[in-house]
Structure 1
Amino acid sequence: MKFEKSPLTTIIFFLVITGCLAQKKPNLIIVHTDEHSFRTLSCYQKLLPEDQAFVWGKGNNVDTPYIDKLADEGAICTSYYASSPVCTPSRASLVTGLYPQAAGAPENGLHLNKDAVTFAKILRDQGYATSYVGKWHLAGHSKYEFNVEDNGGFTDNRYMMTGGHAPYFHISKNGIKAVNQHMLAKLPKDEVIHLTDYFTDKTLEILERDKDKAFCLMLSIPDPHTPDYARPPYNTMYNHMDVKAPKTMAAKYTAIKPKWALGNKKSKLEAKEFDGKSLKQYFGMVKHIDDSVGRILKFLDENNLSNNTIIVFTSDHGDMFFEHNRRNKGIPYEASARIPFVIRYPNKIKAGKIINTAYTNVDFAPTILSIMDIKTDAKFHGLDTSEDFLNKEKEITSDRIVYTRKSNSWWVAATNDRYKLVIDKKEKPYLFDLEKDPDEVTNFYYDKAYANIAKMMQTELFKQLEKYNEPGLQNNKKPYIIK
């Protein structure tokens, strides 16, 4: 019997075929941590010299197989920097593609400009379901408040929290209250949950809801920020380690330090002695985060979403953790300013790609939108570096120079994949050779052999300071010192 196609059958057949051929929009998940040393990720440890991978003693570090999986199946960036290594400015740059001064948030606790264009707003307008879970820190100094009014384009912001780093939530009929570990014995166990678990649970709930549509979700975990407490069993997981003080904590390195590296009494950033107990807790927090990433990867695999989902792991800034006798962040040393950045996009980004070219998180918005093939007329300070990620090359290296800054405009830095120039109004210029001197203890600025390097870095830095309206050029009485 001969089969005759009716007009309706032909239309249905055409729609099915074109639907199959149409490229489904890629999903995007960003896992974003807070105050996270890149040295604590084993995918970075594998690329570092032993003394840099284990600054706290040989073998003393964390194994992070799930974050490693992203790097092994995608790309890892070895010279990725925070535009300004403190929370609010860095986060503002990540979501807008602008330097903090243009995004309205050059210092901690400020509000992102209401009219700022973010990658989330652009994706929302392209039909994406946009959600944000975790710490926002772009709406003032308040803590543990939800349903932030200015959501930056993340339509579902029920679990967007203004700020705060208490380890636990007490969830009861009276609402959510942040509590520390010392209060646990007084509370019902079934009413207490660690923030990392809470925000990961909510992430998985949203992914389950949105798995059949194009989605963009950002999970911003408040750890491994101080107060350096990991929940059981992570809090005892590294007790066996005989952790050591970093060698740059020794007096011969700290006796004479640049003024920009000194902490003030109020900030308590200068470390009087090494605290190995806190470091072991920090390791535990990182392991907890990695296991949470594993939960998300498992969900993607089980729902056949892995191949069409871009997943990024990064942070807002690093953590000195006793290097150069310092705690926390805010300075241009690698441990503070350099951040982890790994990205997986199967079939689009070559597995095992290593990118050494210098970037800042100002580059994130234009780059991720381009990788997703999203067209926009938005103006960015950052560059579209998508070609570095999408080309066939296994390793990418260039001498691109990026500019970074302190949140209150005292120091500025120019960095490429090998050299770093730091200029401060109250200090002589410092030039570091990160290849010969990864500990950043030697100033090569006045070395004649580095004269051309110093000039090149300095010239490009001032071009960018002018281009991006660096406030330090206008707002302070003294010009930057160049000797």
Structure 2
Amino acid sequence: MTSISKITTFKLIVFCSMVLALFSCETTTKKSETKKKPNIIYIMADDLTIQAISVYGGIFKEIAPTPNIDKIANEGMLFQDALCTNAICGPSRAAILTGNYSNLNGYYKNESGGKFDDTQWTFPQEFQKQGYRTSLFGKWHLGTEPKGFDVFKYHNSAGQQGHYWDPTYNENGVDVKEKGYSTNLSTDFALSWLEEGKNSTDPFLMVLQYKAPHRPWEPDTKYEKLWEDIEMPYPSTFNDTYEGRELTAGDTEMTMEYFSNKDMKMPEPDGLEGVDKMKWNFYGAKPGEVVQPKGMSFEEGRKWRYQTYIKDYLACVKSVDDNVGRVLDYLGENNLEENTIIVLTSDQGFYLGEHGFFDKRFIYEESLRMPFMVKYPEVIKPGSVNEDIISNIDFAPTFLELAGLKTNQKMQGTNFAPLLKGETPKNWQDAMYYHYYEFPYWHHVQPHYGLRTQKYTLAHFYYNIDVWELYDLEKDPNQLNNIINDSNYSEVVVELKAKLKKLMIKFENNKSLKDFRMITDKDFGDIVTNDTNEPSVQDLLTKKEN
């Protein structure tokens, strides 16, 4: 080959290489530009606690496993320190939706808490605004019609608490009576919506919020007698004496003595209707109204109530787990797993006999810690576990970040998307501010605020008492020993109180105790539905002496 031919060939090779490189860059750019945004399925059960989820361990791990919920954690990331800013249903939901504490979103409590201010921004509205198809199925419990959803179908009876059996749903503004078990029904609606939109090219946000396992813990028929022949184990703190905590943990109406006839599935007398029926169902909710079969001793009755409660509660969780499995199966069968973020959580934790309690509200671990797990194959390494502190106000900014959605909306929460990649930013939050306002009904838990670090819990109970509590979570994980007056911790108390003060200023809630008490005392109104034939539990039971 002549030298001229060699030069010509060389030029041709260089030219072709440049063309291929340009084509490759253009193709990469187009792929980047056309990359589909992730779908998000947000699943929240009501009053679901980590003690009832087998991937978290605990005494029910082998007896009542939750394989489908566990699958989300095993194929994604399990959070060990997701904390609730106000451990009660409605306020927690408001915090999640807005990314803000109760003092900014205005929703402080359930009882006399009024309705959620639906004129304010919520993260589903942002998703809808920026091109996502959006839907809500199941429990809403904020006293309003949801905004930010193309389609919604939520529980709209019993003050939006809903019913387990044959529930009334509000379907896009119209009440519809459905036949069946609510946990199954809500999933039916969700899967139908996914199926109807399966040919759409737009990403979706689906919010699926179960009533279960909220009180009155009514299992699906097939699980009513699931553990009939065994005695469930008791938590190590079941017989807590509340020594050193007499005015706080020791002065509540959430012990084993406060289950109602309805809770305990006592046979209802014939012919009861209206107010009489309601009064009978809720007998047991007041002091001195202890429900148990005749002939039992106090201790026998206490254990009987616990066994009835825990079996019904875990049976309700069993149905939640089954239906989470249905959602996961649908994603797998329709090739949606890789590009769908699945979140499983609750509105707060719950007591399953720990400290002799049921319900929530306290800053103590069992009610403070929320189950939280995320599966997102593109970002999260399977089997990951995170032990950093996050809280429910952090959900909204994180979801927006994962979806690549920008907003000018200010939120108090912090985006924790880096944690999902196994990267903890420097100076990550090392404490969480907590505040509970509701008193005396339900359950007579003193309003309190405090902070939780990974080592300590500090709390101030302030409504008609003035009690501080401090717990060393490393030495006393069950929080049985209030060490606020232990001289060995005097410097720790000073440091933690200073940190708490900074957090209260940061989150714009550095008010006087008088102002906090006014919030507790204020009647913001009650959630009312179209359920006109049903007497109000509040009218019957909330007019009590403090």
**TM-score band (shorter)?**
0.7 to 0.9
SS at match of 1:242: coil
Partners of 2:183 and 2:160 in 1: CA distance: 14
Is residue 407 of structure 1 aligned with residue 437 of structure 2? yes
Query: In the alignment, which residue of structure 1 is the partner of 2:160?
Result: 163
CA shift at 1:408, angstroms? 3.1
Partners of 1:330 and 1:171 in 2: CA distance: 28
CA shift at 1:440, angstroms? 0.8
- The answer (yes or no) to whether the contact 1:331–1:406 under 8 Å persists in 2 is yes
Pairs within 5 Å for 1:273-422:
273-274=302-303, 275-391=306-422, 400-408=430-438, 410-422=447-459
- The answer (yes or no) to whether the contact 1:260–1:411 under 8 Å persists in 2 is no
Partners of 2:168 and 2:115 in 1: CA distance: 28
**Cα gap change, 1:351/1:268 in structure 2, threshold over 3 Å: closer, same or farther?**
farther
Aligned partner of 2:120: which letter? A
CA offsets per residue over residues 66-88 of structure 1, 9 Å max, x none? Answer: 11111111111111122111111
Aligned partner of 1:466: which letter? I
CA shift at 1:164, angstroms? 1.9
**Cα gap change, 1:14/1:359 in structure 2, threshold over 3 Å: closer, same or farther?**
closer
Is residue 41 of structure 1 aligned with residue 37 of structure 2? no
**Cα gap change, 1:251/1:241 in structure 2, threshold over 3 Å: closer, same or farther?**
same
CA offsets per residue over residues 49-73 of structure 1, 9 Å max, x none? Answer: xxxx12x7xx664211111111111
Question: Bigger radius of gyration, 1 or 2?
Answer: 2
- The answer (yes or no) to whether the contact 1:319–1:336 under 8 Å persists in 2 is yes
Pairs within 5 Å for 1:43-442:
43-45=55-57, 53-54=58-59, 61-108=63-110, 109-139=113-143, 148=145, 151-159=146-154, 161=156, 163-169=160-166, 176-177=176-177, 192-211=179-198, 212=200, 213-250=202-239, 252-253=241-242, 256-259=245-248, 262-264=251-253, 268=286, 273-274=302-303, 275-391=306-422, 400-408=430-438, 410-425=447-462, 426-442=465-481
CA shift at 1:221, angstroms? 0.1
**Cα gap change, 1:85/1:392 in structure 2, threshold over 3 Å: closer, same or farther?**
closer
CA offsets per residue over residues 311-338 of structure 1, 9 Å max, x none? Answer: 1000012221322222211112211221
- The answer (yes or no) to whether the contact 1:354–1:396 under 8 Å persists in 2 is no
Q: How many residues align?
A: 433
Say which of 463, 471, 496 aligns to 1:457: 496
Aligned partner of 1:402: which letter? M
Structure 2 portions without partners, runs of 5+: 1-23, 259-283, 291-297, 440-446, 519-546
Query: In the alignment, which residue of structure 2 is the partner of 1:4?
Result: none
Partners of 1:235 and 1:328 in 2: CA distance: 21
SS at match of 2:350: coil
CA shift at 1:421, angstroms? 0.8
Partners of 1:40 and 1:315 in 2: CA distance: 12
SS at match of 1:218: strand
Partners of 2:35 and 2:85 in 1: CA distance: 34
- The more displaced of 21-30 and 272-281 is 272-281
Aligned partner of 1:167: which letter? Y
**Cα gap change, 1:110/1:458 in structure 2, threshold over 3 Å: closer, same or farther?**
same
- The answer (yes or no) to whether the contact 1:313–1:340 under 8 Å persists in 2 is yes
Partners of 1:294 and 1:477 in 2: CA distance: 44
Aligned partner of 2:163: which letter? A
- The answer (yes or no) to whether the contact 1:60–1:241 under 8 Å persists in 2 is no
TM-score (norm 2): 0.73
CA shift at 1:405, angstroms? 1.1
Partners of 2:53 and 2:75 in 1: CA distance: 15
CA shift at 1:253, angstroms? 4.1
Aligned partner of 1:158: which letter? K
CA shift at 1:261, angstroms? 5.4
CA shift at 1:133, angstroms? 0.6
CA offsets per residue over residues 202-258 of structure 1, 9 Å max, x none? Answer: 010111123332100101100001111211222222224311433323254468534
Partners of 1:247 and 1:397 in 2: CA distance: 36
TM-score (norm 1): 0.82
- The answer (yes or no) to whether the contact 1:254–1:325 under 8 Å persists in 2 is no
Partners of 2:175 and 2:151 in 1: CA distance: 19
Partners of 2:391 and 2:430 in 1: CA distance: 11
Partners of 2:314 and 2:206 in 1: CA distance: 26
